[in-house]
Amino acid sequence: MPELPKYLLVDGHSVIYAWPELRSLHFSRPVQARRQLITLLQQLQDSSDWRITVVFDGKFGITPVRRENELVIVYSTIDETADSIIERMCSRPELAPLILVVTADEAERRTVESLGANCSSPNWLEDELSSQRLSLDDSLKRIHRGAKW
């Protein structure tokens, strides 16, 4: 049986533009829209088994630093795109089946799937975030009910 994806690779601006609330925020305050997405993704990573990397198109590029239990944030440099970074990350045949890419870009979806990675939509990500929040809330309620204060 093939191993299930465990790395979530998020095309940051694709998700921002796909979600109406973040899209409207991005037009007036792009840094805040990115921060809000990053906060949601960090919460998902903290409450699930996903190891998450979010990739944004940028002007200067930032070398990603990964600390244990933190998501990785990558900005493309001026001579590359977020798509090219995602494709490079999916190009290793031994890792590609473990990666789930979240993007609304159909061309990007076809490319990463041809490399052997899995792909999903920003709508799936929104559902996954909701599901994890509900799961966490249910767990907290059970713990609270069982607590002997």
Structure tokens at 119: 């792909």
pLDDT at 90: 96
| Nearest CA-CA partner of 42 in 15, 74, 69, 6 | 69
Say yes or no to pLDDT of 25 above 80.
yes
Domains in the chain: ranges and CATH? 7-146 (3.40.50)
The Cα–Cα gap between 109 and 114 comes to: 9
pLDDT at 147: 59
Say yes or no to pLDDT of 104 above 80.
yes
The Cα–Cα gap between 23 and 92 comes to: 32
The Cα–Cα gap between 10 and 120 comes to: 10
Beta carbons of 103 and 119 less than 8 angstroms apart: yes
Q: What is the pTM of this model?
A: 0.83
- Return the HEC string of 96-116: HHHEEEECCCHHHHHHHHHCC
Beta carbons of 55 and 34 less than 8 angstroms apart: no
